[in-house]
Amino acid sequence: MVIVAAGCILLVLGVFGKIGAAFATIPTPVIGGMFLVMFGVIAAVGISSLQYVDMNSSRNIFIFGFSIFCGLTIPNWVNKNPEMLQTGILQLDQVILVLLTTDMFVGGFLGFLLDNTIPGSPQERGLLTWDQIHEESEETAKVSEVYGLPCGIGTKFCTSSYTRYLPFWPRPEHHRKGEVGTCQLTLCFQDSSGECLKAATETRM
C-alpha cells in the first residue's frame, strides 16, 4: 500500500504543477537531513544482506571492495570530466551522465556484474543460507503474495529457451498438484562444462 500511495502521489505531482511547487518550497536543509537518514538506511540494509556471504573469501572481499570504491570514485570523475563521455547524441549523453553520476547505480551494477561472472560456490555466495532461512520463515509466503507479479505474469519467461544461458536464472520445475498460479523454480549453478550442479536448492515464486 505504501508503494501504491507513493505512485499515486507522484502521478498527482506530475499532473498538477501547483502541488509540485508546494513541495519545492521545502527548505534545502530539511531535504538534506531527510536524504541523510533515507540513503543511510538504504546503504545499511544493503550491507546487512552480506551477513550470509562468506566474507573470509578473497573473491567476495574483492567484489565488495571494488564495487564500493568504484561507486565512490567513478561518479566523482564523471562530474569533473563530463566532456570525456560525449557520444554526439544528446539524449544518450544525458542518460550515461545520469547513470554514471549515481553512486548506488555504479556500485550496485558492478557488484551484480562481478558476482554473476566471477566463479564462486553457492555456499561462498551465501545463496544456500539465504534460501534456507527464507524457506523456514513464515513470512515468505506473505512476501511472495505482496511482491509477486499478478495473474501469472512472469511464468512465460521461466520457460524461455534463451534463459538457460544466464548463470543466475532460476530453472523451471513442474508444478505441484493443487498449486494454482505458482511456479516451482530451482536455482541452478552452472560449471565450466555447462552442467547444472546438484547442490542447488529449490525456491518458489
- What are 76-104's pLDDT values in tens digits? 999 888 888 888 888 888 898 999 998 88
- For residue 9, is it within any domain? no
Q: Tell me how many domains the chain contains.
A: 2
181, 158 in Cβ contact below 8 A?
A: no
Q: Please state, in angstroms and rounded to a whole number, the distance separating the CA atoms of residues 129 and 53.
A: 8
**Structural domain includes residue 99:** yes
Query: Each residue of 156-204: pLDDT tens digit?
Result: 555 556 666 666 555 554 444 444 444 444 455 555 555 555 444 444 4
Same domain, 50 and 79: yes
Instruction: Select from 91, 124, 157 the last residue of a domain.
Output: 124
**Has residue 83 been placed in a domain?**
yes
Kindly state whether residues 94 and 45 are assigned to the same domain: yes
Is there a domain that residue 3 lies in?
no
Domain identity same for 178 and 112: no
Rounded to an integer, what distance in angstroms lies between the CA atom of residue 164 and that of residue 172? 10
Instruction: Give residue 172's domain range.
Output: 139-204
Q: Are residues 106 and 157 in the same domain?
A: no
